[in-house]
Structure 1
Amino acid sequence: MEASFARDMWKVVEPLHAVTYFAEECRKANGDVGLKGFWMGYFGSRGAPLGAVSAGTIQATFFGFHPARVRRAVPDAWRFASPESILRARSDAAARVLRRTVPGIEDVAVKAAPLLQEVVMAADASGRPLFAANQDLPLPEDPVEALWQATTSLREHRGDGHVALLAAEGLSGLEANVLVSAIGVVPPERFYESRGWSPEDWAEATEELTRRGLVAQGEATAEGRGLKARIEQRTDELAAVPYNVLSDPKTLYESLIPASKAAATEMPFPNPIGFPRPA
């Protein structure tokens, strides 16, 4: 499968998954199960497939967050709610959002979820901890929940591969954020708000990237843009491999486009994910 197909699939998979971060039903579900505040809800619900892990594990696998932001939420999250109860709540809430926002989601889910799950089970989990944890979860019987879980697994598969490539290039989570912002994908203020870094942290990382020749006067250099492009290309190449299991991947992709556009109405633009507004 070509890398460009994996990029296209990311653009339809991400909004279906990302309702879990932005939709009111999902935020409320995290609170109802016992998690306190948005960030404990975020780290607890996304991290629940891993079990009651340490703050260090969340920090390493999620990448890009200030350690203090993580440690204010974890491991306390597991005192308020078990990973098992969080998993049930997050899946149910995401399905309710998709049913509210996406016309015809039942039919889409019945057809697409089994195919996406084929891709999930064909993917190699080696070196991909968040993906491996999601891959191990039983697929929900409800077709819309199953669709959400399959998109979540594939999203984490891609994300784990991306993090590995960033780390291999010697970029910290903060430096990766600075480079993305210097290219113009996400404003710095979004990262201050969402990832917990201070302007002083940002300035220090910018200085380091400047020393490496990746940034100049706050903007990415040709070398910095080239590095980011190579990382994105390799991310796509790695993410494309499991789709080879499908006999008709193009039809699956096309079937998800309307649902994805509808689900994207729950996302803010610009967003810290760096996801572009659907055309």
Structure 2
Amino acid sequence: MTPEEVAAATATPVGALGRDFFFSDVVRETMAEHGFTGLPGYVGARGGVLGDVSADVVVSAFALFNPAIVELGWNQTKEQGSPSDAAAAFTVGLSRWASGTFAHLDGLDEFAAAARTVFDATVPMSQALYAGWRAMPVPDDPAAATALALHILRELRFGFHIHALSAVGMTPLEAVVARSGPQQAQLFGWSEPFPDPESLKARHKQAEETTSARMNEVYESIDASQRAHVAATVGAIAEIALG
């Protein structure tokens, strides 16, 4: 399998799996067990690897969200505990999600190892969330290590995408509306008036193509059989988790 093929095969399911595990009952319940409820269950969980930084840093890293929502969630995280504890709690929940979802699959060790080779070869460039999650300890359990790798892959592509959006001159609101429409923009904390999605699609397509090209490059660090295994594993997990 070529780098282009594995990048194309994994982009959509990795993004969808992230939405699935972040808002799963088991992750939400695990976060609550550690004292993090409400917005910190996402903002603190995802951004906690940045450490005890100001809200502006987290707003910058999250990029596409209304800054007021991120700032509120970050301040609430600090009220409920430390950001690093929120990230650690999320990794526990992520491991539980993996255990209950796809731990029975074969080849998880190989998937996690291939993903780690990709991460070791891909130096972060203004990709704080990717850098933070890449530095997290890798669990011994193959399913937990695989779930963490899925999350890191998601943050890696997200970082490349933010670079690409900036290069074509899109604002965060424009990017969300162009990709998913006004309803999704509201979920990201934005309010009307919304720009016309059709007027934004050409630039957004250009940004997506640049993002894909960067992901193609990172998969050059593993061989064709490893790429095929990565694609097959992501596909199998997505089929189980997403139906």
CA shift in 2, pair 1:9/1:219, >3 Å: closer
Distance in 1 (alpha carbons) for counterparts of 2:116 and 2:12: 18
Q: Which moved more, 1:75-84 or 1:22-31?
A: 75-84
Q: 2:239 aligns with which of 240, 250, 261?
A: 261
> Which of 80-89 and 45-54 deviates more?
80-89
Mapped to 1, the partners of 2:103 and 2:12 lie a distance apart of 19
2:192 paired with 1:191: no
User: What SS class does the counterpart of residue 57 from structure 2 fall into?
Assistant: helix
Instruction: Give the Å deviation of 1:264.
Output: 2.0
Q: Is this contact kept in 2: 1:131–1:160, CA < 8 A?
A: yes
RMSD of aligned C-alpha atoms? 2.0
Normalising by structure 2, report the TM-score. 0.89
| Partner amino acid, structure 1, of 2:30 | A
Q: Any unmatched runs of 5+ in structure 1?
A: 181-185, 207-217, 266-279
Superposed CA deviations along residues 106-140 of structure 1, whole A, max 9, x for unmatched, are x3422311111111111121221111111112211
What's the CA shift for 1:76? 3.3
1:228 counterpart residue number: 204
After superposition, the Cα gap between the structure-2 partners of 1:14 and 1:179, relative to the gap in structure 1 and judged at 3 Å, is closer
TM-score with structure 1 length normalisation? 0.79
Deviation by residue 1:207-243 (Cα, 9 ceiling, x = unmatched)? xxxxxxxxxxx3414xx33322211111011112221
Distance 2:220 2:55 in 1: 36
Structure 2, unmatched stretches of 5+, are none
Point out the structure with max Rg over C-alpha. Answer: 1
Mapped to 2, the partners of 1:29 and 1:251 lie a distance apart of 30
Judging changes above 3 Å, is the alpha-carbon distance between structure 1 residues 219 and 243 closer, same or farther for their aligned structure 2 residues?
A: closer
CA distance in 1, matches of 2:49, 2:103: 29
Report 1:236-255 matches (<5 A).
236-247=212-223, 248=225, 249-255=227-233
Q: How does 1:82-121 map to 2 (within 5 A)?
A: 82-102=82-102, 104-105=104-105, 107-121=106-120
Q: What SS is found at the alignment partner of 2:140?
A: coil
1:4 to partner: Cα distance:
4.4
Give 3-state SS (helix, strand or coil) of 2:74's partner.
coil
Amino acid at match of 1:254: A
Equivalences, count: 240
The AA in structure 1 aligned to 2:219 is Y
Distance in 1 (CA, whole Å) between partners of 2:58 and 2:65 is 9
Post-superposition CA distance 1:233-261 (Å, at most 9, x none)? 11011112221121221233123312122
Counterpart of 1:24 in structure 2 is: 25
Residue equivalent to 2:126: 127
User: What's the counterpart of residue 74 of structure 2?
Assistant: 74
Q: Provide the residue aligned with 1:54 in structure 2.
A: 54
8 Å contact kept, 2:94–2:148: no
Residues 113 and 67 of structure 1: CA distance in aligned 2, closer, same or farther (over 3 Å) = same
